[in-house]
Amino acid sequence: MDRKKVAVPLVCHGHSRPVVDLFYSPITPDGFFLISASKDSNPMLRNGETGDWIGTFEGHKGAVWSCCLDTNALYAATGSADFSAKVWDAITGDELHSFEHKHIVRACAFSGDKHLLLTGGLEKVLRIFDLNRLDAPPREVDKSPGSVRTVAWLHSDQTILSSCTDIGGARLWDVRSGKIVQTLDTKSSVTSAEVSQDGRYITTADGTSVKFWDANYFGLVKSYDMPCTVESASLEPKYGNKFIAGGEDMWVHVFDFHTGEEIACNKGHHGPVHCVRFSPGGESYASGSEDGTIRIWQTGPLTHDNKEAAPATGPSSKGKPEAEEVFPKMEALNIVDNGKAKEKEEAGIA
């Protein structure tokens, strides 16, 4: 392929440490949103289309490993190395509740009905918190065989998908019984697991390959060996005809879903790519890197690389976003001055 042509991304600055997780909200009446987790302990919310910074959730005292938004993008949740998972008001930026754990929290996910929060981490325990009864003890699912790396809900919140940092495969748990009902076998540990928007596929990345599984019958549909060690992968949500993957070589690769052929390879990051995600409409995708930046790439035609990347407005940029660029529902958000934020001690793992 012609490596002289690369997409020109929107570059989102603001994080001072590596970006380790990204999550897009579904499309809401006010647009869609992107939340990012970073080792700098300050998760950030952005306009999902433009990448413009909306605000920062302040309160964690360690690296933030995981982040998510509920279906209406009204609430956010984060999992951290400070042994807590926090729920936030995504409008005001206020911390609503902190769920204390006994070890690092690596993963969190809202249920589809928005009433439950699922967490997992180095304790090797999956916990389900009832958001309608914040002070109630969580339900603990049967002990995970390893330290939890990723979690997700599927089958109308009747099934949980999880993977571990120290053993291969992804496990599917029946929520009612709390038992593992199926294991998706991989040679290495699964560092990224995503349920497709239509609920048909589970996409996993295990370092050397990206695999697609039938989300209802759990059979392997496609498996492609990767040109480099990849940490994250995401399937295009609208047509399902392409997927992206990122990892150690600092490039964001685009592949044909049906053939596995690489159709684009986008350069821009200056460190390994830790996370990639398609936007809910499939018109763009985001990547987060060891270099501390988020880059938003358009899915459309490639352009020559003699153009400079366009910066999105953020806490460290000189320009301010125009009024019409900020969604109406976010007008009340309490914007935090990141420039004055002190360095916080990180209690995480690399």
Partners of 109 in beta bridges? 118
- Contacts for 253 with CB less than 8 Å, ≥ 6 apart: 226, 227, 230, 244, 245, 246, 262, 264, 265, 266
Q: Which helix (H) or strand (E) holds 20?
A: strand 19-24
**Cα 167 from chain centroid?**
21
- Rounded to 5°, angle at Cα 301 from 295 and 302: 60
**Does this model's pTM top 0.75?**
yes
**SS3 at position 157:** coil
Render pLDDT for 61-112 as a digit per residue (tens, 0 to 9).
Answer: 999 999 999 999 999 999 999 999 999 999 999 999 999 999 999 999 999 9
Quote the pLDDT of residue 327.
34
Q: Which residues of 200-235 are buried (b: 16+ CB within 10 A; e: fewer)?
A: ebbbbbbbebbbbbebeeeeeebebebebebbbbbb
Render pLDDT for 264-275 as a digit per residue (tens, 0 to 9).
Answer: 999 999 999 999
- Contacts for 307 with CB less than 8 Å, ≥ 6 apart: 8
Segments of the chain scoring below 70 in pLDDT: 1-6, 300-311, 313-350
Residue 332: which of 114, 115, 91, 150 has the closest Cα? 91
**SS3 at position 324:** helix
Quote the pLDDT of residue 314.
64
- DSSP classification of residue 189: B
